[in-house]
């Protein structure tokens, strides 16, 4: 069990990344610092240990690995890209028997879970690419953690969209991530962008 956020970030940074990242899926490895921020917040609020977790758009398993390190009962990794799944299975090898893989689009996954963790596409290549992830997360769990661009228009959308679907933002942490030169349209060797880490909770109707 990890006892410090810094140790968690280091462990996550050592995992293998995408062998063949696909631009239309906006496949970027979730940076260790952002992943550890999300996971540590969830762990500190009692949302990880002993819980059944779904990682939507799991990629190479960075968030899944961290959740298992922090004592998740089981992690279901939902990922459409079989090449990414090969790396994910390798990364999560030490946790054999504690994770399952669902290969397919997030819209096809229908199991209820205790918590959802995810780093969905930001919508840079396909507009509103994060919406199917949010919709599915709100459908299958009462508590959701997600990473989104820290822009005023995105924040307004997130607040409105979550409220319309019966959820409220309980926490929002802002941090910076580094995206390496990876695709043809990248201009810098290392792009630093600011992201928000959200915790959503379902509104309980008292009536």
| 3 state SS of 132 | helix
- Listed residue (131, 129, 133) closest to 108, CA to CA: 133
On whether 105 is known to bind a ligand per the annotation, the reply is yes
* Alpha-carbon span 110 to 45, nearest angstrom: 25
On whether 116 is known to bind a ligand per the annotation, the reply is no
* Alpha-carbon span 60 to 63, nearest angstrom: 9
* Alpha-carbon span 62 to 75, nearest angstrom: 12
On whether 47 is known to bind a ligand per the annotation, the reply is no
- Listed residue (188, 190, 176, 181) closest to 37, CA to CA: 176
Q: Note whether 61 and 3 are within 8 A (CB).
A: no
On whether 142 is known to bind a ligand per the annotation, the reply is no
Alpha carbon separation from 62 to 66, 172, 173, 204 (Å, rounded): 6, 20, 19, 31
On whether 55 is known to bind a ligand per the annotation, the reply is no
Annotated binding site for S-adenosyl-L-homocysteine: 27, 62, 79, 105-106
Q: What residue numbers does the annotated binding site cover?
A: 27, 62, 79, 105-106
């Amino acid at each position: 069990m990890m006892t410090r956020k810094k140790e968690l970030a280091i462990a996550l940074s050592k995992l293998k990344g995408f062998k063949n990242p696909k631009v239309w899926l906006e496949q970027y490895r979730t940076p260790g610092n952002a992943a550890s921020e999300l996971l540590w917040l969830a762990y500190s609020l009692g949302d990880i240990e002993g819980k059944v977790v779904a990682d939507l758009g799991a990629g190479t398993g960075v968030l899944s690995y961290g959740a298992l390190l922090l004592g998740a009962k089981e992690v279901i990794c939902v990922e459409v890209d079989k090449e990414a799944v090969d790396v994910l299975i390798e990364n999560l090898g030490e946790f054999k028997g504690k994770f399952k893989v669902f290969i397919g689009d997030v819209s096809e996954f229908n199991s209820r879970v205790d918590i959802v963790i995810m780093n969905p596409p930001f919508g840079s290549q396909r507009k509103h690419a994060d919406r199917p992830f949010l919709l599915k997360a709100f459908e299958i769990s009462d508590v959701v953690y997600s990473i989104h661009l820290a822009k005023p228009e995105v924040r307004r959308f997130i607040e409105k969209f979550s409220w319309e679907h019966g959820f409220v933002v309980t926490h929002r942490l802002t941090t910076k991530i580094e995206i390496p030169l990876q695709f043809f349209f990248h201009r810098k060797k290392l792009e630093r962008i600011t992201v928000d880490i959200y915790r959503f909770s379902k509104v309980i109707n008292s009536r």
